[in-house]
Chains A and B, each alone.
Chain A
Amino acid sequence: MLPEHVKSEILSAVEKYEHPRHAALEVLLIAVEHLRWISDETLINLADLLGMSPEELDNRATFYNHLYRMPVGKHVILVCDSVTCWIMGFNGIRDYLCRRLEIEVGQTTSDDLFTLLPIQCLGACDKAPVMMIDGTLHTHLNPERIDEILSTYGWDPGSWKSR
C-alpha cells in the first residue's frame, strides 16, 4: 500500500489534469521522490489510482531517466558522460568514482549509500566535468573535489584508505 501522505500528494496532483492518466509522469515522479524507486507493488497501486493497467503505466515508467524501476541507494550520483565532459576528462572521473565507491557504473554501494549512473549533458559544459547528486550540481570535478563532495553525503574516505 502507498503511505497516506504520498497518496494524498498524488491525488491532489491528479486533480490538475482533465483525465487521471494524463498525470502519469507527475505521479511517478512523486512516488520516486518519496519511495526512491517504483516496485511492482507500487506500480500496481499507482496504475489503479490512474485508471490504467499496470502494463500501460510500466510503458511510461521504463522510459524516463528519473523513474527507477530497480532499487537505488540513498543518494543517486548522475555523472555526465556527454561530449564536453568527455573532452574534459570524463573517463578519469568515472574510473575514480568507481574505484572510490568500489562499484561499476549502474551499481549501488554495499552500504546502500550511493548509486552511480551515467547521464546525458547536464547543461553545465562551461564548468565541465560535472556530476549531479540528488539534484545538486557539482562542477569542475577532480579527484580531490570528488573526495570532498562524497564526504558531505556521509561517505567515509578513512574506511577506504585503511584497507
Chain B
Amino acid sequence: MSLEEYEQAGGYQALKKALREMEPADVIRTINEANLRGRGGAGFPAGLKWSSVPTGENAPLVRYVIADADEMEPGTFKDRMLLAGNPHQLLEGLLLAAYAIQATTAFIFLRWEYTQARAIIRNAIAEAKEAGYAGERVLGSDFSIEVRLHVSAGRYMCGEASAMLNALGGGRAVPRPRLPFATVSGLWGRPTVVNNVETLNNVPHIINRGGDWFKGLSRCKDGGTKIYGASGKVKNPGWWELPMGVTIREILEEYAGGMRDGVRFRGLLPGGASTDFLLEKHLDICMDFTSVQQAGSRLGTGNMIVLDDKTCPVGMVANLMMFFARESCGWCTPCREGLPWLANILSAIESGAGEPSDLEILEEHIQLLGMGNTFCALAPGAVEPLRGALKYFREDFDRHITEKRCPWS
C-alpha cells in the first residue's frame, strides 16, 4: 500500500490526533485501556512496557523505540506480509510508540532475508519523512524523531529482546541479565522499548477508535484481532486476521480448509517451534493467551504448524531440536551443552539406534533445561514441544526403539 493509498484509508490520522490533542501519557493510557498484549509471542502488555520508561526532568533525554521485524520463529510468517503489504501502518504505530515514550530515534530491526520488505520499508521511511510524519518537528509540533532501518546480519537469537539490543548495538546477539530492564537501560545504555511488528500495527487503530472499540473486536478478554496462520499438510496454508479468541478448529477447518486428501490430523504446535503440542481433543479451545496456556501450551505467534499421520512425530521433534541446538548462542552452559545432546539422542531414536534409557534422559532434560536454569528462554522454549511429544506420542518413541527403525520410513 502506497503512502497515498494509506492516507486515503485514514492513515496517519492517529498520529495527527495524538500530536494535536493528546499528551504522551494519554497515548499510553489508551493503549492500556485496549489491553493490547504483545503479538511477538510473550504477550506482555504494550502499554505497561511503555509506561515503565522513566519520565520527568531527570530521565535520560536520548530514548529508543525498536520495531522487532526479526520474524524467525519456525512456522511463523505473519509479519512478512504486514511489512511488505502495509509499511506505513507499521511506521505510524512506531511513530506513535515513539511519541508515547518521547523517543529520539526509532529503529526497524529487520531480518536480512526479508529482502522484499527491505526495499519497501526503506522507501516508506523516505516517503514519511518527505510528508512530515517523521524527522524534525513532526507535523509542525515540538516532537522530532529519526527513523532508521537496521538490516540484521541474521541469527534466531536476535529475536530475544535483550540479545537484539546487543545485535543492534554492533555486538554478538547474546542475552543480557533481566535487570536492569531495557526500558530503563537498553540500547547503548539508554531507555529502550522493543515491540513486535504486529503489535505496532494495532496502535494507530486503537488511537483512532479507542480501547473499548479494540476490546470489542475480540471474543475473549484479550483485546483485538490476531493474525493467525497455518502451515503443514493442510489444504490451504496461509494467514488470516481474525478476532482474538476464535477456536483452533475454526482456523484449521474453515480457513486452512482442513487436512489435505490422504492425510489425517494428529496434532499441532499452536504458535511456533517453541510451543507445546496440542491434539484433536484441544481443537475447540480458543486461540487466546489464557485458553492456550490452560491447555498446557502457549499462543506464541499464533501461527500453527500441523502434524499429520504420514509424518513421524519423533522426526519432527528431532528436527525442532536440531534447530534449537544450532541456534543456541552458547552463552550459558545448560543450553550450549544440553540442546546438542537432546538433538543427538532424538536423531539416534529416529534412525533406529535409540535405547529405552534415552527416554529417561530426555525426560530429565525437560526439567534441567527448563525456566530458571538457563540465561534466557531459548532452551525452555526448545523443550516445550519435547514435553508434549513424550506425553502424547510415547508409543511412537517406543516403536522406534523396539523396532530399531522409523516406522514412517
The residues of A with any CB-CB pair to B shorter than 8 Å are 16-18, 21-26, 28-29, 59-60, 63-67, 78, 81-84, 86-88, 119-128, 132, 135-137
Contact assessment for B113 and A132 in the assembled complex, using a CB-CB cutoff below 8 Å: yes
**Chain A residues with Cβ under 8 A from B315's Cβ?**
86
Residue B72 lies at the interface, judged by CB distance under 8 Å to chain A: yes
Query: Is the Cβ of B303 less than 8 Å from the Cβ of A88?
Result: no
B226 to chain A, nearest CB (A): 17
Interface residues on B, range: 35 or more
Give Cα A121 to B188, complex, Å.
29
- Whether B188 and A126, one on each chain, are in contact in the complex, defined by CB atoms closer than 8 angstroms, is no
Contact partners of A24 in chain B: CB under 8 A: 170-171
List which B329-372 residues lie within 8 A (CB) of chain A.
329
Q: Is B288 an interface residue (CB 8 A)?
A: no
B285 to chain A, nearest CB (A): 22
Q: Which residues of chain B from 292 to 331 have any CB-CB distance to chain A below 8 Å in the complex?
A: 303, 305-308, 311, 315-316, 319-320, 322-323, 326-327, 329
> Within 8 Å of chain A (Cβ to Cβ): is B60?
no
A57 to B36, CA, bound (A): 40
Smallest CB separation, B81 vs chain A (Å): 9
Knowing A21-B170, A84-B231, A136-B115 touch, does A64 contact B155 (C-beta < 8 A)?
A: yes
Report chain A residues within 8 Å CB of B114.
123
Q: Give bound CA distance, A22 to B307, whole Å.
A: 43
- For B171, list chain A residues within 8 Å (CB): 24, 60
CB <8 Å contact, A29 and B153: yes
Q: A29-B153, A87-B232 known; A65 and B74 CB under 8 Å?
A: no
| A15, chain B: closest CB distance, angstroms | 13
Is B153 in contact with A87, judged by CB distance below 8 angstroms?
A: no
CB contact under 8 A between A84 and B75, given known A65-B153, A120-B156, A125-B231: yes
Q: Is the CB of A87 within 8 A of B188?
A: no
Encode contact with A along B220-257: 1 for CB under 8 Å, 0 otherwise.
00000000010111000111000000000000000000
